[in-house]
Amino acid sequence: MLRLVLALAVSLAASGARAVEDPYPWIAAAYVVKRDGKLLWAGQPDARLPPASLAKLMTALLALERGGLDETVTVGKGVLRATGTRIGLKPGEKLRAGDLLAATVVRSANDACRALADHIDPQFVSRMNQRAAALGMTGTRFMDPCGHDREGQYASAADLARLAEHVMPHAEYMRLAKLDKVAFKSLDGRAFNLRNTNALIGRYEGAIGMKTGYTDGAGNCLVALAVRDGVVVLAVLLNAPNRWWNAVGLLDRAFAAPR
């Protein structure tokens, strides 16, 4: 299944077709549903909205493209500014970059995300926006590597779908995204046992991930990916009050839609 997703992702990322139908306007402030790279339905796909932790998709992409996941990261004081979901990192602790990525993807931990971003580049947000521009994400501007609400930060559902399709070829991200839980230790031996924030994992047939998000400004957000019988469905929901129920409905309808 994973090989299928990785192989298909290249063609998915190249797809730029626009939806012609918005049959579910009540589902979210903005949404996009794609099957095998083709846009099935969308509502306000170009609306510029807060992305919450879906911004971590770009942080993860930059970390994966850079490599060095076996590098040792010394946690900096930036983690003290992280709010929301955290794993309790302390300045001075040492961890593998790959384990920080795991905490970022699986648990959506803001302190792990911050430590990883600061390790890669003190000007990490500039890198995020440069990569977004290179990907043609014209409706997106990042102001925080982990998705905290920041003035001037926004993304569109269409852009986030494109970003997800560029993350999908990275086997390590896909491996992490579908884990129900992950465990690792700091270099000093402190153990971390983390459960996935994605309620679809282990509950929805074929679910792989990819990213959850929530802030007061963004509401409930989700990038959901599932594969069944060789069919790949990707759904992006921004500010979706009932994201899990609605995501399941969208995925089911996408798998059942005529081809």
User: What is the rounded (10 degree) CA torsion for 54, 49, 203, 114?
Assistant: 20
Helix axes 124-134, 110-120, angle to 10 degrees: 90
Strand 219-228 relative to strand 191-195: parallel, antiparallel, unpaired?
unpaired
DSSP string, 3-67: HHHHHHHHHHHT--PPP-----TTS-SEEEEEETTEEEEEESTT--B--GGGGHHHHHHHHHHH-
Q: Is 156 a catalytic residue?
A: no
Q: 6 — phi, psi (to 5°)? A: -65, -40
Q: Is 38 a catalytic residue?
A: no
Cα-to-chain-centroid distance, residue 143: 16
Given 56, 156, 178, 211, which residue is catalytic? 56
Q: Is 53 a catalytic residue?
A: yes
Given 90, 94, 108, 126, which residue is catalytic? 108
Given 53, 156, 178, 211, which residue is catalytic? 53
With CA atoms as reference, report the closest residue to 84 among 60, 106, 53, 122: 53
Catalogue the active-site residues: 53, 56, 108
